[in-house]
Amino acid sequence: MNIVTELFVVTFKIIWSFVLAGAKWFIPPREKSVEGQVCVITGAGSGLGRLFAQEFARRRATLVLWDINRESNEETAEIVREIYREMKPSAGEFNRSSDSVQELPLFQPKVYTYVCDVSKRESVYSTAEKVCKKVGNIDLLINNAGIVSGRHLLECPDELIERTMMVNCHAHFWTAKAFLPKMLELNHGHIVTVASSLGLFTTAGVEDYCASKFGAIGFHESLSHELKAADKDGIKMTLVCPFLVDTGMFSGCKIRKEMAPLFPPLKPEYCVKQAMRAILTDQPMICTPRVMYMVTFMKTVLPFDAIVCMYRFIGADKCMYPFLAQRKESTNNNESKTGI
């Protein structure tokens, strides 16, 4: 095929991709089933991780919960077990005989818990090995674990910066290297990166957090292209980029009061519901709320000075400062108590 013909074919495919994307607004794609599939969730002990666990449990997935905090991880596991107990048997779990209907549970989902520090590759690799031996091959990997230091760059200890990068970014490398080989062998799996809108655009005062999320998104997108280049279409990738979620992680963050109703913190339940919809329909990327797509687009086309003006008008330029001040006060109080 000569280059002119190929150019026409590529142009047609690009136009057709727009048509298909537009059609999904009117004909929502059908959600896939994850019943019986093994789902690993990092940072499952609280926040979005716990909510993801609940959503996958309701869909009868077998859950493997990772968290550095054993107690909170077990609390999530107990919530999941309660969901399993309350669920009605699926249609495939009935065996009809000539004189009676017997309830035979062909599949009973389970939940497994593991204490894992995802910032340490040795911990990730050893935990992944235990999972593969006890549970088997995994189908879904939800890279959700995340932290924030909550300090200005020059006030942040190097150790905290390194830990933020390791948990929010480097951990994605370790989990992928642990589970991707089997996915490639089977040409089956789904990797989800829970990033942030602060990995698409930035604000002042959270340099380490933004850098870590930019890194996670870069890793995710590059891996997506690598899978496409290898024709591994059976392995799906979904990037989740929510606006600030009301989990307490960025407690105190504020923008201009007149603009606040337009950009309220997201309810965690809403965020996870939207993410689950994207995951179950194999959507490559989801930004919540949808206005985040526009903000990201404007960042790519506007001059930097124009972006600064827009930030100042909205009050986004220093929106993290109240959060940072609150975190600093909390740290000082803790240090004072320790001194006493």
Burial class (CB in 10 A: 0-12, 13-18, 19+), 183: buried
pLDDT in tens, 235-287: 999 999 999 888 888 888 888 888 888 788 889 999 999 999 999 999 999 99
**Active-site annotation, residues:** 209
Q: State yes or no: pLDDT of 297 exceeds 60.
A: yes
Residue that wins the pLDDT comparison between 311 and 139: 139
Question: What average pLDDT is seen over the chain?
Answer: 88
Please state the pTM of the whole predicted model: 0.88
Higher per-residue confidence, 108 vs 142: 142
CA-CA distance, 16 to 7, in Å (whole number)? 14
Model confidence over 153-208: pLDDT tens digits? 999 999 999 999 999 999 999 999 999 999 999 999 999 999 999 999 889 999 99
What letter would DSSP give residue 98? S
Q: Which of 245, 252, 251 is nearest to 322 (CA)?
A: 252
Q: Give buried/exposed letters for 22-52 (b at 16+ CB in 10 A, else e).
A: eeeeeeeeeeeebebbbbbbbbbbbbbbbbb
Cβ-based neighbours of 74, under 8 Å, separated by 6 or more: 113
pLDDT at 333: 60
Residue 274: how many other CB atoms lie within 10 Å = 19
Q: Are 237 and 227 in contact (CB under 8 A)?
A: yes
**CB neighbours of 254 closer than 8 A, spacing ≥ 6?**
260, 315, 319, 322
Tell me: the pLDDT tens digits for 77-128? 999 999 999 886 655 554 544 444 444 445 678 999 999 999 999 999 999 9
pLDDT for 195 equals 96
